[in-house]
Structure 1
């Protein structure tokens, strides 16, 4: 039987395309933190992996660490997956939550490029902003709205907000703040590069990507190491690069206008200036 203690004390809840992969790898390299075998367990989303059950979730964590964690950007899509904060609170009421915030316009564009590269969206930029796909991307960039869904269930002191630009400029300072927040010792992280899976996603065949995230394959996660997973991804990234169409200045300006009220609210909520944002 898997001990009950093999449950997260920290969850990186998002935002998507805002540095969660980089942070996951930083946390994975900390000697006291046991991150989930797969970066995105998506466990608290019923239409994803919640039906696999608590034993599957606990199997994502190897024993021997002071604290455990995972990183699932789907948890900061409360407009799509309702009830996630309440579900997390029901299982992990004392969990520490980490949210990364990137320039909302840049995040929107990166989300679009990612969706195009993975084959989940084929909307041209001219039709994007008022499409269902575009509306999802806008909502995911409305950080105040996403965070307020968590603050209905968790006190503010259980939430740590990270500026993506600061993570890029000074990862050591950010990680010092993160480990202080979760209650483990500081350690040197210099030399760990920025990470994301965009390049390999752009070259993974569509059927591989669908299988990769299928619930059936996820049942075997406990038998697949993190390093084996990364090697498989690299070996299977053989399709031609599906470069996304360029998002021009006019669309960026419209996205900025639509996101401005939420960005203002998020600055007030977070207490951070986000001086480099274009909104």
Structure 2
């Protein structure tokens, strides 16, 4: 063995010894970094429960999670605040929400896919979480209650309603924006809601028909008892959301995990946002909170007259009164 071979052997032995020595150090370093990171996450989760909770994993299949059929459905009403309600409930650590409107029970093509397809539209959830989906069209379609009953006769149902006059205007405003996207010519609200021959409210105008809450509620009550419904005041949800969310938590049998301090009023948007950490407020999209166009008072009064009896019937059906028929109320519409 020559000098070069001896030197190479010594170098190899030295490298091997170093490698054996360094490997445990590297493992310890990696383990230490991982431990510190996990501790940091746990501290964040416990100190800011609305920031880091099990909802972060709704799209991830983790151990103990699986897709579950909804325990509760927000059935409507359209343009009454269903998206706001779902957004607020979505931060609750014991709730998982479907991220888009599934339209399973009201869309025949979707319904034909079966319950297996419906299940696949649901988020992953832990065993102690409730799954909620919302599709506002469910409330007004006559065949939907029977389909929901066939799936789950004990399911809990959330219905959010607001002043039917405001709901009607919001409904048409939404249709107007869709029409703009399609390049359609838009007509003033008054021309659409009034019968040109009589000057009275057009009872066939879809946004008006969808505000007959009593008609649709009667149909739902044929299948489900009133104690399986919780009626959310959509007007109150806009002006002071915390009490409404508190009542929903109670109805669902959940702990009250969304504190009042998490609701922060956004003056720019004109409604409340959710404080999910110290620097970020979870708000609805820019399409929400659109200002209503000016509507002639005469048209507003005619709409109130049309809805008055329907409102009274609805109040009796749900054993709950709203301010809509209060003639002393100063309406924000038309101002």
Note the C-alpha offset of 1:70. Answer: 0.8
C-alpha distance after superposition, 1:28-77 (max 9, x if no partner): 11111111131x11110134632343223212221215211111110112
C-alpha distance after superposition, 1:220-278 (max 9, x if no partner): xxxxxxxxxxxxxxxxxxxxxxx986432222222111111101111222232312556
Distance 1:44 1:77, change over 3 A: same
1:112 is aligned to: 172
1:176 is aligned to: 246
Written as runs of structure 1 = structure 2, the 5 A alignment for 1:225-244 is none
1:240 is aligned to: none
2:75 is aligned to: 13
Distance 1:144 1:51, change over 3 A: same
Matched position secondary structure for 1:199: coil
Deviates more, 1:164-173 or 1:96-105: 164-173
Written as runs of structure 1 = structure 2, the 5 A alignment for 1:156-175 is 156-175=226-245
Q: What TM-score comes out, normalization by structure 1 length?
A: 0.74
Match of 1:44 among 105, 112, 136: 105
Structure 2 runs not aligned, ≥5 long: 1-64, 196-201, 264-271, 274-282, 328-335
Structure 2 contact 67–123 (Cα < 8 Å) conserved? no
Q: Distance in 1 between matches of 2:176 and 2:204?
A: 12
1:273 is aligned to: 321
Number of positions where the alignment pairs a residue of Structure 1 with one of Structure 2:
234
1:76 is aligned to: 139
Larger RCO: Structure 1 or Structure 2 (Cα < 8 Å, ≥ 6 residues apart)?
A: 1
2:319 is the counterpart of 1:257: no
Note the C-alpha offset of 1:187. Answer: 0.9
Matched position secondary structure for 1:49: helix
2:191 is aligned to: 127
Match of 1:58 among 109, 119, 133: 119
C-alpha distance after superposition, 1:86-117 (max 9, x if no partner): 11111121110111110010111111111101
Structure 1 runs not aligned, ≥5 long: 203-242
> What's the Cα RMSD here?
2.9
Q: Distance in 2 between matches of 1:255 and 1:139?
A: 11
Distance 1:113 1:278, change over 3 A: farther
1:210 is aligned to: none
Match of 1:199 among 282, 287, 311: 287
Structure 1 contact 104–277 (Cα < 8 Å) conserved? no
Q: What TM-score comes out, normalization by structure 2 length?
A: 0.62
Q: Which has the larger radius of gyration?
A: 2
